[in-house]
């Protein structure tokens, strides 16, 4: 019985320790790159591809091309 009480007390303390902090709200501001309109002619992820299975030309993709493509895809599907 005492083992069960100790286990219940330990779980209660662990759960109480996890819920003590307030979460900070996430700001609604975006980075300047995300605020710029996505230009389909310069972003290989947004333009139509002539490769098999509509695969994008991976040799032309830059890191800055992903966020506008993700945002456009979410806008189309949500």
Residue 68: pLDDT over 80? yes
Residue 13 has what pLDDT?
86
pLDDT tens digits, 21-53: 666 666 655 555 545 555 667 888 888 888 899
- Provide, for the chain, the percentages of residues in helix, strand and coil under a 3-state DSSP scheme, each rounded to the nearest 5: 55, 0, 45
Residue 5 has what pLDDT?
92
Q: Is the whole-model pTM more than 0.85?
A: no
Average pLDDT, the chain: 80
Residue 7 has what pLDDT?
92
């Amino acid at each position: 019985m005492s083992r069960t009480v100790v286990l219940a007390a330990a779980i209660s303390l662990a759960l109480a320790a996890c819920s003590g902090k307030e979460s900070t709200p996430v700001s609604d501001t975006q980075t300047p790159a995300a605020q710029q309109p996505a230009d389909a002619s310069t972003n290989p992820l947004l333009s139509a591809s002539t490769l098999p299975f509509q695969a994008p030309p991976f040799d032309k993709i830059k890191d800055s091309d992903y966020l506008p493509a993700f945002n456009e895809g979410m806008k189309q599907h949500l």
